[in-house]
Amino acid sequence: DLNLAYQYDADFHVAFAMIAFTTIVFGLCVFGISIGLWNMDPGRDSIIYRVTNQRIKKDQ
């Protein structure tokens, strides 16, 4: 019996699947947030821009 291959742990594929799934989900979340921020319209009358504009006016 000349099996010279390294004996991997039985749960190695489970750990790889968890890390791969987490990485893919994190990447998709970052991509989705990036697309959302890219398409955000500063001219639109939204709550985000109303709050920030009022604070800027109060400071000046």
pLDDT given at position 21: 98
HEC string for the chain: CCCCCCCCCCCHHHHHHHHHHHHHHHHHHHHHHHHHHHCCCCCCCCHHHHHHHHHHHHHC
pLDDT of residue 53: 53
Condensed to tens digits (0 to 9), the pLDDT of residues 12-59 reads 889 899 999 999 999 999 999 999 988 887 676 666 666 655 555 555
| pLDDT(10) > 90 | no
Task: Give the pLDDT score at 52.
Answer: 57
Looking at residue 31, its pLDDT comes to 98
